[in-house]
């Protein structure tokens, strides 16, 4: 439908490139000179206390916000200056609390992920139907496909919106707190889906709050505080006792999961005297 | 395909077929029943007065009601998607009020003008300029309501609804003041028009209104897949690839035009855009590719039936209320029921 074309594939490497980006909501600066990159096949976790600028950063990468300084490159182009239809073919965003005001079925919602590939009336092609079935299968939703989304549990709902992002067939997958409000089993399942997506070649960037889940699942972590990057690297490099104390203001014990070798940090909650 | 992912053809055909059937049934009832019993065969054979009653009075009136109901139900469906709230409706949101004000201003200007230059005044008071005034008023009201309903950059549906309700009261006051300026015969005509009376409009009026309604509802039907995305919220729709601003502007424009045309034809007929989409959604589901055309058709049937009811129920009294009174009588309680149900769901659900 659209004569416009994106550069690539092959996409530039790294596919996400943020350089010296700054963003302010009115007088409040939320992101202040952030640089980071993410590559295809990589699962990058964005960490930081509330108000560190993580969600703003992910919206800047998605092109939903414009930086007041610095540059964002998504697959080599500026996502804020590019038509949404083209951005959506490269980049999918799973919001933290997806809206569910209307009683669409699971399959309808996942099909909406195909918007950027469809014409005005969104009549699905064989390709669209295939992508939707594939995404439903990948997220273990085939048995729920005809159910109304507003009747699902929190964990199931999250899978639906993840499936919608997969149906979009992006190269970059942005997740805003994929584990928020989920119980432990669903948190682990969400992280595993993100890992599988990254192993399948996607560039996955997730805003995360749980340091241990992030350390266990991500290839690389970027820690933010006050709108700036304070550390970047492997989980064991980023999550030191000193840094967690400095950034989150909480003294922790740091150790290692004996089964997996993953870095573990536990807060030192002192007994009430 | 059993799924809704593409609109299944069978369901589309079924919904639209039933909608058309409902219109035919309502028009038949409306045309054949009345103070003067008529015979369809006699009318078709050209026997008077049956022919004149059917083709001169009842059929044009039913057609007018159908066009108005078609426009208002489609506009209501679109505004509900735009506001992400099933309580949105052209009348409740003040869009009809804006259209009424626009139309009133043109009519009063025409009355003033005919005092000094008769033919020019008559021209200004004819159907096309009044329709333009109504459409312009509807658009300004839509912009105002959605603009003031935006708080901190986010559209707050409850705020927009309140703005609409207050705007309605404001418009009612302004129109009352304006009526004082009009000559008495004009004022009476104005009042009857504004109350939502389906009168016997001239063929020109009906033609102008119908063209406007068909174009704007056609545009809404083309945008129906995008209305699905708008219900998700701006950010999500944008991340799925929708140009949200442009889409919203187009929906604003088309929904306002449909409402403006409906008001130019029949004044303020409220709640059609609330009741009909709600009932149709329960049957066909939330996909606007099915919901919007089906709502438009059932809206047409609904208003024809409501107008027939208005005429027939008061027959013994030898009078008839404007159809706007009937829809308000049905729609007011319906609105309150929806409002309480929504509040209850929000309290339980989230």
CATH of the domain at B170: 1.10.3470.10
| ∠ CA B228-B229-B235, rounded to 5° | 155
Coil vs helix vs strand at A47: strand
Q: Which residues of B touch A146 (CB under 8 A)?
A: 2-3
Contact residues, chain A, for B157 at CB < 8 Å: none
Residues of B with CB below 8 A from A150's CB?
349
Residues of chain B with C-beta less than 8 angstroms from the C-beta of A121:
222, 224-225, 289
For residues A123 and B224, give the distance between their C-alpha atoms in angstroms, rounded to a whole number. Answer: 12
**Who among B228, B289, B349 is closest to A112 (CB)?**
B228
Would you call A64 and B239 a contact, using CB atoms and an 8 Å cutoff?
yes
Residue bearing tokens 């092959």: A10
Q: List, in sequence order, the alpha helices (H) in chain B.
A: 9-32, 40-44, 50-51, 59-83, 95-116, 118-124, 127-148, 157-181, 184-194, 203-222, 224-230, 234-239, 244-266, 272-284, 288-313, 323-349
A contact residues 116-135, partner B, Cβ 8 Å cutoff = 116, 118, 120-124, 128-129, 132
Please report residues of A whose CB lies closer than 8 A to that of B243.
83-85
**pLDDT (tens digit per residue) in B67-77:** 999 999 999 99
**Mutation target vs B (from A89, A107, A122, A205; most B CBs, 10 A cutoff):** A122
| Minimum distance, in Å, between the CA of residue B58 and any CA atom of chain A | 38
Q: Please indicate if any CB of chain B lies within 8 Å of the CB of A92.
A: yes
Looking up tokens 């930081």 gives: A48
Three-class SS state of B203:
helix
- Confidence band of B1 (pLDDT split at 50, 70, 90): very low
3-state DSSP call for residue A89?
A: helix
Comparing CA positions, the residue from A206, A208, A264 lying closest to residue A236 is A264
Q: Do B289 and A99 touch (CB under 8 A)?
A: no
List the one residue out of A160, A174, A158 whose CA is nearest residue A112.
Answer: A160
Which strands make up the sheet holding A28-38, listed edge to edge? A28-38, A16-25, A69-74
Does the CB of A141 have a partner CB in chain B at under 8 Å?
no
Q: What distance in Å separates the CA atoms of residue B269 and residue B262, rounded to the nearest whole number? A: 8
The answer to whether B289 contacts A105, with C-beta atoms less than 8 Å apart, is: no
Average pLDDT in the A240-256 region? 94
A69: β partners: A22
Q: Per the CB < 8 Å rule, is A104 touching B225?
A: no
Q: Per the CB < 8 Å rule, is A93 touching B239?
A: yes
Range 149-188 of B in CB contact (< 8 A) with A:
none
**Chain A touched by B346 (CB under 8 Å):** no
Selecting from B3, B7, B241 the residue whose C-beta is nearest the C-beta of A84 gives B241
Please state the separation of Cα A189 from the chain's center in Å.
15
Whether residue B60 is predicted with pLDDT greater than 80 in this model: the reply is yes
pLDDT at residue B2 is higher than 50: no
- Please tell me which of the candidates B84, B229, B289 has its beta carbon nearest to residue A121: B289
Is residue B350 pLDDT above 80, yes or no? no
10 Å CB burial of residue B34 (0-12, 13-18, 19+) is middle
Cα separation, A57 vs A17, in Å, equals 12
Nearest one of B252, B265, B250 to B300, comparing CA atoms: B265
Residue A1: pLDDT band with limits 50, 70, 90: very low
> Is A104–B238 a contact, with Cβ atoms under 8 angstroms apart?
no
Minimum-distance CB partner of A101 among B3, B84, B238: B84
Cβ distance B236 to A88 less than 8 Å, yes or no, reads no
Structure tokens at B120: 């020019």
For B81, the closest chain A residue by CA position comes to: A102
Q: Is B289 on the interface with A (CB under 8 A)?
A: yes
Chain A nearest-CA distance from B92, in A, is 20
Q: Two tokens at B258?
A: 């449909």
Q: Which chain A residues have a beta carbon less than 8 Å from that of B6?
A: 122-124
* The predicted structure's pLDDT at residue A7: 58
- Domain containing B312 equals 3-349
* pTM reported for the whole predicted model: 0.90
Kindly indicate the confidence band of residue B56, based on its pLDDT and cuts at 50, 70 and 90: confident
- Residues in chain B closer than 8 A to A92 (CB atoms): 239
Per-residue pLDDT tens over the stretch B120-143: 666 676 778 888 999 999 999 999
Tell me which chain B residues have a C-beta less than 8 angstroms from the C-beta of A64: 235, 238-239
pLDDT band at A135 (very low <50, low <70, confident <90, very high): very high
The answer to whether B42 and B51 are in contact (CB under 8 A) is yes
Tokens of B57: 């009075």
Cα–Cα dist A22/A33, whole Å: 5
ipTM of the complex model: 0.91
- For residue A200 the two structure tokens come to 């399948």
Q: What is the pLDDT of residue A139?
A: 93
| Spatial contact of A190 and A4, defined as CB atoms under 8 Å apart | no
Q: Would you call B218 exposed, middle or buried from its count of C-beta atoms within 10 A (0-12, 13-18, 19+)?
A: middle
Question: Which class for A109: exposed (0-12), middle (13-18), buried (19 or more C-beta within 10 A)?
Answer: buried
As a whole number, the mean pLDDT across chain A is: 92
Dump pLDDT digits (tens) for B144-192.
999 999 888 788 888 999 999 999 899 989 988 988 887 787 788 788 7
Q: Work out the pLDDT band at B5, boundaries 50, 70, 90.
A: very low
pLDDT at B197: 74
Structure tokens at A182: 């989920």
Six-digit token string for A127: 């390709």
Beta bridge partners of B48: none
3-state SS class at A25 = strand
pLDDT digits (tens, 9 = 90+) for B206-242: 888 999 999 999 999 999 999 999 999 889 999 999 9
Beta-carbon separation of A115 and B289 below 8 A: no
- Weakest mean pLDDT among A84-88, B56-60, B100-104, B218-222: B56-60
B257 confidence band (pLDDT: 50, 70, 90): very high
- Please identify which residue in the block is written with the tokens 């919001």: A95
Span A111-125, average pLDDT: 93
pLDDT confidence of residue A2: 44
**pLDDT at residue B134 in the model:** 93
**Structural domain total, chain B:** 1
- The pLDDT tens digits for A144-179 are 999 999 889 888 999 999 999 999 999 999 999 999
Average pLDDT rounded to a whole number, residues A179-193: 91
Share of residues in chain A with pLDDT > 70 (%): 96
CA distances to A135, A139, A143, A193, A234 from A196, rounded to whole Å, are 13, 11, 21, 5, 19
| Percentage of chain B exceeding pLDDT 70 | 94
Q: Determine the Cα–Cα distance for residues A105 and B5; give it in Å rounded to an integer.
A: 9
Mean pLDDT over each residue of chain B, to the nearest integer: 88
Nearest-CA distance A226 → chain B (Å): 23
**Average pLDDT of the segment spanning A233-259:** 94
| Residue whose tokens read 């409040």 | A28
Question: What is the number of other CB atoms lying within 10 angstroms of the CB of residue B137?
Answer: 28
Contacts of A26 (CB under 8 A, 6+ apart): none
Q: Which of B81, B88, B240 to mutate to test the interface with A (most CBs of A within 10 A)?
A: B240
Mean local confidence (pLDDT), A189-213: 95
Q: Which residue in the block uniquely carries the two structure tokens 């304006």?
A: B178
> Is residue A209 classed as helix, strand or coil in its secondary structure?
coil
Of B22-36, B58-72, B121-135, B285-299, the one with minimum mean pLDDT is B121-135
- Is B262 within 8 Å of B137 (Cβ atoms)? no
Q: Do A89 and B241 touch (CB under 8 A)?
A: yes
pLDDT at A265 over 90: yes
Q: Give the chain B residue whose CA is nearest to the CA of A166.
A: B240
Count of beta carbons in the 10 Å neighbourhood of residue B107 = 21
CB contact under 8 A, A132 and B285: no
Quote the CA–CA distance of A164 and B338 in Å, as a whole number.
Answer: 31
Q: How many other CB atoms are there within 10 angstroms of residue B25's CB atom?
A: 13
Q: Which residues in chain A have their CB less than 8 angstroms from residue B228's CB?
A: 104, 108, 112, 122
């Amino acid at each position: 439908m659209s004569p416009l074309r994106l550069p690539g594939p092959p996409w530039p490497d790294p596919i996400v490139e943020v350089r010296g980006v700054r963003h302010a909501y009115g007088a409040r600066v939320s992101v202040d000179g952030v640089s980071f990159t993410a590559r295809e096949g990589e699962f990058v976790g964005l960490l930081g206390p509330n108000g560190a600028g993580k969600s703003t950063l992910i919206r800047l990468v998605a092109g939903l916000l414009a930086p007041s300084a610095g540059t964002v490159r998504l697959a080599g182009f500026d996502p804020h200056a590019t038509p949404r239809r083209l951005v959506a073919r490269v980049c999918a965003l799973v919001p933290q609390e997806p809206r569910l005001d209307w009683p669409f079925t699971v399959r309808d919602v996942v099909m909406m992920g195909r918007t950027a590939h469809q014409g005005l009336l969104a009549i699905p092609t064989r390709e669209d139907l295939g992508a939707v079935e594939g995404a439903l299968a990948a997220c273990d939703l085939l048995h729920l496909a005809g159910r109304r989304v507003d009747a699902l549990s929190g964990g199931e709902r999250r899978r639906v919106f993840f499936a919608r992002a997969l149906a979009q067939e992006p190269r970059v997958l942005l997740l805003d707190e994929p584990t928020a409000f989920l119980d432990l089993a669903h948190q682990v399942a969400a992280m595993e889906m993100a890992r599988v997506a990254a192993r399948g070649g996607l560039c996955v960037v997730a805003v995360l709050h749980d340091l241990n889940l992030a350390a266990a699942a991500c290839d690389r972590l970027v820690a933010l505080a006050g709108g700036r990057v304070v550390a970047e690297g492997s989980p064991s490099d980023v999550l030191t006792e000193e840094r967690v104390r400095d950034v989150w203001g909480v003294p922790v014990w740091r150790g290692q999961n004996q089964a997996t070798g993953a870095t573990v940090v536990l807060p030192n909650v002192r007994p009430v005297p | 395909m059993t799924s809704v992912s593409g609109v299944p053809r069978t369901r589309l055909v079924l919904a639209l077929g039933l909608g058309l059937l409902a219109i035919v049934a309502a028009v038949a009832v409306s045309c054949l029943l009345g103070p003067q019993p008529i015979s369809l065969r006699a009318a078709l054979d050209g026997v008077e007065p049956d022919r004149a009653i059917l083709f001169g009075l009842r059929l044009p009136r039913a057609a007018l009601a159908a066009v108005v109901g078609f426009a208002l139900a489609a506009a209501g469906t679109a505004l509900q998607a735009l506001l992400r709230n099933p309580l949105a409706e052209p009348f409740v949101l003040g869009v009809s009020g804006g259209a009424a004000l626009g139309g009133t201003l043109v009519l009063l200007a025409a009355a003033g003008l005919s005092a000094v230059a008769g033919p020019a005044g008559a021209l200004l008071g004819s159907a096309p300029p009044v329709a333009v005034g109504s459409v312009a008023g509807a658009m300004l009201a839509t912009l105002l309501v959605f603009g003031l309903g935006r708080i901190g950059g986010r559209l707050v549906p409850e705020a927009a609804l309140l703005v609409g309700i207050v705007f309605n009261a404001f418009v009612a006051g302004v129109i009352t003041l304006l009526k004082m300026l009009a000559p008495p015969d004009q004022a009476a005509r104005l009042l009857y028009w504004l109350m939502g009376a389906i009168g016997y409009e001239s063929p020109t009026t009906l033609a102008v209104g119908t063209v406007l309604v068909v174009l704007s509802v056609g545009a809404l039907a083309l945008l129906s897949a995008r209305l699905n995305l708008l219900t998700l919220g701006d950010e999500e729709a944008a991340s799925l690839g929708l140009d949200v601003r442009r889409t919203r502007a187009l929906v604003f424009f088309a929904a306002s035009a449909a409402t403006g045309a409906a008001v130019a034809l029949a004044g303020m007929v409220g709640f059609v855009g609330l009741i009909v989409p709600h009932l149709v959604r329960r049957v066909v589901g939330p996909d606007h590719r099915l919901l919007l055309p089906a709502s438009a058709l059932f809206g047409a049937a609904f208003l024809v039936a409501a107008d027939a009811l208005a005429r027939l129920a008061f027959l013994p009294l030898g009078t008839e209320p404007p159809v706007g009174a009937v829809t308000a009588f049905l729609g007011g309680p319906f609105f309150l029921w929806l409002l309480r149900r929504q509040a209850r769901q929000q309290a339980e659900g989230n």
